[in-house]
Amino acid sequence: MNHSVLGFFPYADRLLGAAARLKQAGYRNITIFSPIPIVHEVDHVLGEKKNPIKFFTFFGSLTGFFFGTTLAFGTAALYILPRFGKPVWSVTPTVVIAYETTILLGVFATLVSFLFFARLPYYKKRVYDIKIGVDRFGLLVRAEEEKLRYVEEVLKEAGAEEVKRIYED
């Protein structure tokens, strides 16, 4: 069972102050909800996370290139069509097929890795409150039961209007 604390803040600067304080205290599972985009401020406070999707895109594209090249050369080798002194393995159709399979498998790897890292589809109930989407900022911190009291104190000291404990299954 996961234990969480959700604090509602009227202003973004108070929210970011509480998030910075909790991060300095060693909490790593911090989620920020906002009705407006504050991406750069959040990255400054919590640190920018590494995005591994680019590696999947690269290796998917590389796989697609080698697959397309092998497909074109293999097909030409299996079904030899002699054409008046022209080479059996022509470069032009091979480049086109390799280009298309590079893009196809690169996009497919990107899509699959995005869905994996975004944890989609997600069938469990997510923590959300309608106030966050209207005019409040939310700070969700997941921690062990014994550490939740400190999190509640930090959120209240930082200016949270409301602090709720959430028990997830």
| Length, in residues, of the chain | 169
d(CA 163, CA 153): 9
Which helix (H) or strand (E) covers residue 8, if one does?
A: strand 2-9
Helix axes of 12-24 and 148-158: crossing angle, nearest 10 degrees: 150
Q: Do residue 77 and residue 102 come from a single domain? A: yes
Q: Do residue 106 and residue 60 come from a single domain? A: yes
Q: In this predicted model, what pLDDT tens digit does every residue of 83-124 receive, in sequence order? A: 788 888 889 999 999 999 999 999 999 999 999 999 898 887
Q: Do residue 95 and residue 12 come from a single domain? A: no
Q: Are 75 and 136 a contacting pair, CB within 8 Å?
A: no
Range list of H helices, the chain: 12-24, 39-46, 53-78, 91-117, 130-134, 148-158
Q: pLDDT band for position 141 (50/70/90)?
A: very high
Q: pLDDT band for position 169 (50/70/90)?
A: low
Phi, psi of 143 (to 5 degrees): -160, 175
Q: Do residue 107 and residue 146 come from a single domain? A: no
Which helix (H) or strand (E) covers residue 9, if one does?
A: strand 2-9
Q: In CATH, what number is assigned to the domain containing residue 161?
A: 3.30.70.120
- In the chain, the number of structural domains is 2
Q: pLDDT band for position 137 (50/70/90)?
A: very high
Q: Do residue 112 and residue 150 come from a single domain? A: no
Q: Do residue 136 and residue 101 come from a single domain? A: no
Q: Do residue 91 and residue 104 come from a single domain? A: yes
Q: Do residue 30 and residue 72 come from a single domain? A: no
Parent domain of 12 = 2-50+125-168
Mean pLDDT rounded to a whole number for the chain? 91
**What percentage of the chain has pLDDT greater than the value 90?**
70
